[in-house]
Structure 1
Amino acid sequence: MGFTPFFLVYGAKAILSTDLEYGSLRLQAYNEQSNHTAREDTLDQLEEAQDVALLYSAKYQQALRCYQAWRIRSRDLKVGDLVLRLRQSNRGRHKLTPPWEGSYIVVQVLKPGTYKLANEKGKILTNT
């Protein structure tokens, strides 16, 4: 009787060479067909659990989006309105500097939410 290497797999038990030689109860009770159908059933249950988790995730994301958007009011600006602009760079500023700059004038409405701005002297800003 020589050495037989055993490879362990997570969740499976190794079969000893003596069990193979003498035919243990575990080997006698093993049925290839029932094992195959049990594995297919387990894979089906896994796919179903993944689908349910995906549905719960989508439902959660939708509820979160609705919760975050319920207090937001859309505001359409018109030509001539005065607005503040978020600073593009905080370089050279300290943490107590306000994040907004300006007062700028809306010169042109490109599309809803997109505007051309000009400063008080009438110079149109390139990055608005």
Structure 2
Amino acid sequence: MGESPFNLSFGTEAVIPVDVGVPSPRVINFNEQINGDGLRANLDLLEEAREESRIRVAAYKQKVSHYHDLKIRPREFRAGDLVLRKAAISQLKKVGKLSPTWEGPYRVKEIIRPGSYKLETLGEHQLPHAWNSKNLRKYYQ
């Protein structure tokens, strides 16, 4: 964000008790009148600092989203493609860790909408419900 949460909340930087006890330029040059004027000026500029912070956060989120979208490859299948489906989704009872994670191959019979497919076995027996593309993967012979 470029600002500390304390600064965004109260309009000034925090001074921890250890800094007050140690002679530092910040403590030595302390003037109550100048400090009061500076605090009032900081409070006047607080909304602007918050808005700049919001803009930085939005730009950061946009960059992260763009990077994520570059790395994601959509899974699209055409009618007739051979696919495997996740075994854990189709099994009612939880099985052991050594069981296969994918079942198949199955053939894509119909595209209901992008990302949703009707499948059939290689013996042309249609499966009862549609399958989402996140639970399918391409089968290579």
How does the TM-score come out when normalised to structure 2? Answer: 0.52
Cross-structure match for 2:111: 109
1:41-80 aligned within 5 A: 41-66=45-70, 68-69=71-72, 72=73, 74-79=75-80
Partners in 2 of 1:47 and 1:73 — Cα distance? 36
* Percent of residue pairs identical: 23
CA distance in 2, matches of 1:92, 1:37: 64
* Shift, 1:101, TM fit: 0.8
1:77 aligned counterpart, secondary structure: coil
RMSD, aligned α-carbons:
3.3
Deviation at 1:100, TM superposition (A): 0.9
- For structure 1, the 5+ residue unaligned runs are 1-8, 13-24
Three-state SS of the structure 1 residue aligned to 2:45 is helix
Match of 2:86 in 1: 86
Matched residue of 1:50: which SS?
helix
Contiguous gaps of at least 5 residues in structure 2: 1-9, 16-30, 132-141
Q: TM-score, normalised by structure 1?
A: 0.56
Q: What is the CA–CA distance in structure 1 between the aligned matches of 2:74 and 2:120, rounded to whole Å? A: 25
Return the structure number with greater helix share: 2
Task: Determine the C-alpha separation between the residues in 2 that align with 1:106 and 1:34.
Answer: 69
Kindly indicate whether the alpha-carbon contact (under 8 Å) linking 2:77 and 2:108 is maintained by their aligned counterparts in 1.
Answer: no
What letter is aligned with 2:68? Answer: L
1:93–1:38 CA distance, 2 compared to 1 (3 A): closer
CA distance, structure 1, for counterparts of residue 104 and residue 50 of structure 2: 57
Q: Which has the larger radius of gyration?
A: 1
